[in-house]
Amino acid sequence: MHDFLEFLKHLIDPVWIHAHGGLYLVALIVFAETGLFVGFFLPGDSLLFVTGMLIAKHKAPFASDPVNLLYWICLITICGIIGNFVGYWFGKKSGHMLFERKDTWLFKKKHLYQAKAFYEKRGGTAIIVARFLPIVRTFAPIVGGIVGMDKKKFLFYNVVGCIAWVGSIVLVGYLLGENEWVANNLEKVIIGLVLVTTAPVLFKMIFGKHTPPPPPAEGDSAGNA
């Protein structure tokens, strides 16, 4: 456990990242966090912020700042898009098994139908907003695949959400990358960043009005998901 926590701590250390694969490591981690079950614990937001700081300090592989910034944003964004597609594909392939399962005290099929109704109504928003929520961004595309979210719709919102997520946070890190106070208080800045990105959504989830979804139609099945 100590080694695991040390690894997570290293992922917000620009010096360690630069010495262990640099931003190609970041691209791999973003893919893992957005596409693999085991990646849910990875600190995507803070990692993207640190990425912006690294781009500001290290002019590679291009000497031009704008080109360098655009290169890394595009590469990391592509990895995030592919990662979400992996999660969606996994959910699509395994979804029919869940719809065919019998209810247990731990698993209720009605929750799948509720998720299906939600994704049909607000699936696009869910995919975009999930990008800014730790843990949720790992499972949102998987659920989208399980409930049969339209592939073209998923593609569009997957791309838009990833561009917004990667672009905005990397850019903030880039603009503040050479600020001495930020460098000396990086952990505080990252905590603040996580709070800023998650607080509005959590507030809405806790205090917003919830309209219960309609019950599933008789005879509905995974084939209609």
Burial class (CB in 10 A: 0-12, 13-18, 19+), 19: exposed
Tokens, residue 47: 């990692």
Alpha-carbon distance 73 to 184, whole Å? 25
- The string of pLDDT tens digits covering residues 182-213 is 878 887 887 787 777 677 666 666 665 554 44
Average pLDDT over the chain, rounded to whole? 81
Percentage of residues of the chain with pLDDT beyond 70: 78
Cβ neighbour number for residue 100 with a 10 Å cutoff: 10
Greater confidence (32 vs 1) lies with: 32
Instruction: Give the number of domains in the chain.
Output: 1
Structural domain span for residue 79: 2-224
Check whether 88 has a pLDDT greater than 70. Answer: yes
Phi, psi (deg, nearest 5) at residue 148:
75, 40
Cβ(57)–Cβ(177) under 8 Å? yes
- The type of residue at 63 is A
Q: pTM here?
A: 0.78
Phi-psi category of residue 149: left, alpha or beta, with phi > 0 → left and psi -120 to 50 → alpha: beta
| CA–CA separation, 221 and 109 (whole Å) | 10
